């Protein structure tokens, strides 16, 4: 893969930006400055340095982040900063998305990926992938409290009761709660992100995105022009 394409697929900007980065002598591979954007490299096991920072080449990005409190899992946060601001710019540009979401006050491990098939397998309601939360409580809990969570509670943002698949009382201030999403938890974010990206294309005046999970997307649905532009043949 040529250097321009490596930088482009790893989220370092537009193709024009990536050629400029290379020609400016800002990229090192194997301890040597590489300033030819058309120089070819083997990507397996490739590590490169951009502006003094080392990056491994990854065809698909999968990462785990410990989300702190005070961040929203949204591209358009309403009252708090987006969890996306915690990621390096190249990862944001290449389109990683959180796998599910954690509430603004919730801390814990949050997965991100730009692998569409993996994201589909993990978040689509038909997959019934459970999420297990280790919950530390401010007040002591009882078995009756756990049973209430199993039978359903009404949340502030929905009149319909939501129930846990399972709740285990580990000790009086620690419960292990298993949830499954009744709907796709990332639907709004996916549509929002596609709207933003398509709206950036020259000549596009309006965007109407309809989200569907069936059939699962693959590159056979792309035009030859799009495949050529993204070097996906």
Residues designated catalytic: 103
Closest CA to 199 of 96, 104, 75, 115: 75
Cα–Cα distance for residue pair 179/153, rounded to 1 Å: 13
Closest CA to 146 of 175, 124, 171: 175
Report CA-CA distances (Å) from 30 to 46, 51, 57, 71, 134.
9, 14, 13, 38, 43
| Secondary structure class of 43 (helix, strand, coil) | coil
Instruction: Judge contact between 69 and 108, C-beta under 8 A.
Output: no
Phi/psi zone of residue 114: left (φ > 0), alpha (ψ -120 to 50 degrees), beta?
alpha
Which ranges of 94-215 would DSSP assign to H, the alpha helix? 116-123, 143-151, 187-199
Closest CA to 94 of 219, 193, 28: 193
- Give the other-Cβ count within 10 Å of 119's Cβ: 21
Instruction: Judge contact between 48 and 55, C-beta under 8 A.
Output: yes
């Amino acid at each position: 893969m040529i250097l321009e394409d490596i930088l482009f697929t790893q989220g370092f900007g537009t193709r024009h930006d990536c050629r400029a980065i290379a020609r400016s002598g800002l990229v090192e591979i194997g301890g040597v400055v590489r300033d030819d954007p058309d120089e070819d490299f083997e990507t397996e096991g490739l590590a490169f340095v951009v502006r003094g920072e080392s990056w491994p080449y990854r065809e698909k990005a999968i990462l785990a982040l410990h989300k702190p409190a005070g961040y929203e899992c949204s591209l358009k946060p309403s009252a708090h900063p987006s969890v996306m601001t915690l990621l390096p710019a190249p990862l944001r540009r290449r389109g990683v998305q959180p796998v599910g979401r954690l509430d603004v006050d919730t801390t814990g491990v949050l997965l991100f990926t730009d692998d569409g098939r993996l994201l589909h397998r993990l978040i689509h309601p038909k997959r019934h992938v459970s999420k297990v939360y280790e919950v530390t409580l401010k007040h002591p809990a009882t078995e009756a409290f756990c049973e209430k969570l199993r039978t359903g509670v009404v949340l502030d943002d929905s009149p319909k009761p939501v129930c846990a698949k399972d709740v285990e009382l580990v000790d009086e201030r620690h419960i292990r709660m298993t949830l499954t999403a009744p709907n796709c938890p990332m639907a709004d974010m996916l549509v929002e992100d596609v709207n933003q990206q398509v709206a950036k294309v020259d000549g596009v005046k309006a965007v109407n995105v309809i989200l569907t999970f069936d059939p699962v997307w693959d590159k056979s649905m792309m035009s030859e022009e799009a495949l050529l532009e993204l070097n996906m043949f």
